[in-house]
Structure 1
Amino acid sequence: MKNFTSWSFVLCIFHLFTLSSCGNEKQLEICTEILPVRDPSKGTVLRNTKWREGSIIKVGFINGEEVYRQKVRLYAAEWEKHANIKFAFVNNGPADIRVSMNPGSSWSYHGNESLRFSQNMNTGETVAGTNGPSMNFGWFEPSLSEVGFRRVILHEFGHSLGLIHEHQNPTAGIDWNKPKVRAYYRDKNGWDEAKTELNIFKRYDANLTQFTSYDRASIMHYSIPVDHVNNPAHAVAWNTTLSDTDKSFIAFVYPRTPPIREREHSSHHGHQGIGTGGGNRGGDIMREENKK
């Protein structure tokens, strides 16, 4: 994976925490970006992830029960109501997004990176080519609530359109309790300070991303427990639907001017990626997420 210099991959990791504002024990879903070995703050790996407006993006299933496939089709279509793209689910032949349902984590490649990379299902490594999955749902099971299905499917397909995590919005301004957060991820995930900085505290460069003002209601935001911030107002509960800003931003990134058309592989390269949150929403977009 260290040899690749133009891909982004998001991995969801989750741990238990009690959200004080709710008083209910829930699972904290953390999507961890695995980036090439270079300075991620420069945003170079966030480029060229945007699909061409009007694209018909073919989605195929590598495995998974039909009942879960139906849920993916249902909730992925929510993005189509607001963006000038269409997800066409295919039963055979090549697919632009390849969905697996292997137990473990949930993750997705950003935008059209799925045209160039996939995961080796034996090793878990990113490899060039499209022989493996480009998206995975790792916790689909009968006990998962309908809200849980909706949340993770919306989130992962947001990443597949190029959306980044909202807490890394250039204008987020979250007042983190950094010692507490560092200790948490050290103990729970085994992260060193550099990895916590990259995945939690780092905000993307405003000059290299498209974004709107920070949207704490975004589907691309994961929960932030109250003890991870100095200001309780900065805690974030679970978001389970597209926010108004999610809808308006994705409509801005994928405007409805061009007609829907079959995607040509060559047409998807050379387009800037996108990100949500911040003053200009429309630059490098990428986001991801959760478990029940």
Structure 2
Amino acid sequence: MTAQQEKDAQRYCAQPPQRIPVLPSSLSRPRTRAILANHAKWLNGTQLRYSFLDGAGDGVAKAWLTEVHNGFEEWESLGIGLKFRPEDNPEESEIRITFADDGSWSYVGTDCLGIGSSEATMNFGWDPTSPYGKATVRHEIGHSIGFCHEHQNPFAGIEWYVDKVYEYMAGPPNFWPAETTYHNIIRKLSTDQVSGSQWDVLSIMEYGFVSGLIKRPEEYRAGISSPLQLSDHDKEYVRTWYPPLAPHMEELKPFQSSVLDLASGEQADYEVIPEMSQKYQFSTFGNADVKMVLFEQVGEENPRYITGEDDSGEDRNGRFEAKLFKGRRYILRVRMYSTWGSANASVMYW
């Protein structure tokens, strides 16, 4: 590792604050946990478009752009249900990338949708072609699909030498203010926000740390090496969140309800082919928190977003109206947050 690469390996992702839904205090703990654990995840089957706000023509080396492409391809090659497509027009992209010298970071999952279409949702602040830079690319893409920092996992049991952490991060090469250090290192995630019950020290979402910052667990007092590749648990979790799509979908017919026999985090996908061109109502029924989104299938690889609804945390069912055209093919995706009560949840359109 060169001196520059070693310096870069001491620089850390400064993830922006994540948007956490404000839920009614009257909600049950299982319902709250289900919503918080899944709210930032994309619907499975989503095609995420990414663009560069500054590209090769703006002084960014072509090799840097290529390595970012490689990072997206590596995540997709795991056989997940998400697809990534480069897009020339940033305003048409969910993920917008810059290479500004202000650290590396990314918004988490669907938080990207709340950022202005001319603003970046991801940044790489150092050479992404070094071994550590390649790991940084995979780390930031992990954020963009819903992963949080692994060392902030409440099950890690990390006890910090807090003053030393603040002092170390305030110095070179990071120069972080205290609030950035707290948000990205000291702060523990809520148990409601994480999936699983273990700490994966090999995760690409884990920081490496020098000796003298961790008090407990004792085996990490000498520090943690920076993971440089996706771990087995990273691959397992992303396939659980975004499993490979089934080759065929059930067709949802008008006025025929379909039972949503889904566990928290699972998803149902339906083909919708209207026999008449008109406005249709789509709705869920029963006691359930769901995210429901309608796409129009344009070609083989380009589903176009039509509309959607998220009723999580509210005592109502999701419903929306959309004009559909005879003979065209649409896809309805329904991701379950939680169900309660005795009756089965279902979905229907008419």
TM-score relative to the length of structure 2: 0.58
Q: Distance in 1 between matches of 2:163 and 2:306?
A: 46
Q: What residue identity is the alignment partner of 1:162?
A: G
**Other-structure match for 1:205:** 190
**Other-structure match for 1:96:** 94
Indicate whether 1:233 and 2:227 are aligned: no
Query: Could you say if the C-alpha distance between residues 225 and 39 of structure 1 is closer, same or farther in structure 2, counting changes exceeding 3 Å?
Result: farther
CA contact (8 A) 1:50 1:268 kept: no
CA contact (8 A) 1:35 1:45 kept: no
**Other-structure match for 2:204:** 219
Query: Which sits farther off after the overlay, 90-99 or 215-224?
Result: 90-99
Query: Could you say if the C-alpha distance between residues 265 and 97 of structure 1 is closer, same or farther in structure 2, counting changes exceeding 3 Å?
Result: farther
**Other-structure match for 1:149:** 133
- Structure having the higher Rg: 2
**Other-structure match for 1:73:** 69
CA contact (8 A) 1:112 1:268 kept: no
Identity, in percent, stands at 27
* Offset, 1:185: 3.5
Query: Could you say if the C-alpha distance between residues 225 and 269 of structure 1 is closer, same or farther in structure 2, counting changes exceeding 3 Å?
Result: farther
CA contact (8 A) 1:155 1:219 kept: yes
Match of 1:56 among 47, 57, 80: 47
* Offset, 1:182: 3.2
* Offset, 1:178: 2.4
**Other-structure match for 2:318:** none
Q: Distance in 2 between matches of 1:68 and 1:52?
A: 29
What are the ranges of 5 or more consecutive residues in structure 1 without an aligned counterpart? 1-15, 17-23, 118-128, 273-282, 284-292
**Other-structure match for 2:233:** 245
- Aligned runs of 1:2-21 on 2, under 5 Å? none
Q: Distance in 2 between matches of 1:111 and 1:38?
A: 12
**Other-structure match for 1:6:** none
Indicate whether 1:165 and 2:149 are aligned: yes
**Other-structure match for 1:110:** 108
CA contact (8 A) 1:155 1:220 kept: yes
Indicate whether 1:28 and 2:10 are aligned: yes
CA contact (8 A) 2:12 2:104 kept: no
Match of 2:81 among 84, 95, 98: 84
* Offset, 1:261: 6.3
Could you give the per-residue CA deviations for residues 173-195 of structure 1, whole angstroms, max 9, x where no partner exists? 12322232233335564644x66
**Other-structure match for 1:139:** 126
Q: What residue identity is the alignment partner of 2:77?
A: K
Which structure dedicates a bigger proportion of its chain to strand? 2
* Offset, 1:30: 2.6
* Offset, 1:206: 1.2
Query: Which sits farther off after the overlay, 227-236 or 106-115?
Result: 227-236
Query: Could you say if the C-alpha distance between residues 34 and 103 of structure 1 is closer, same or farther in structure 2, counting changes exceeding 3 Å?
Result: closer
SS in 2 for 1:264: strand
Q: Distance in 2 between matches of 1:213 and 1:146?
A: 30
* Offset, 1:26: 6.3
* Offset, 1:268: 8.6
The total of aligned residue pairs comes to 235
Q: Distance in 2 between matches of 1:149 and 1:271?
A: 38
CA contact (8 A) 1:169 1:203 kept: yes
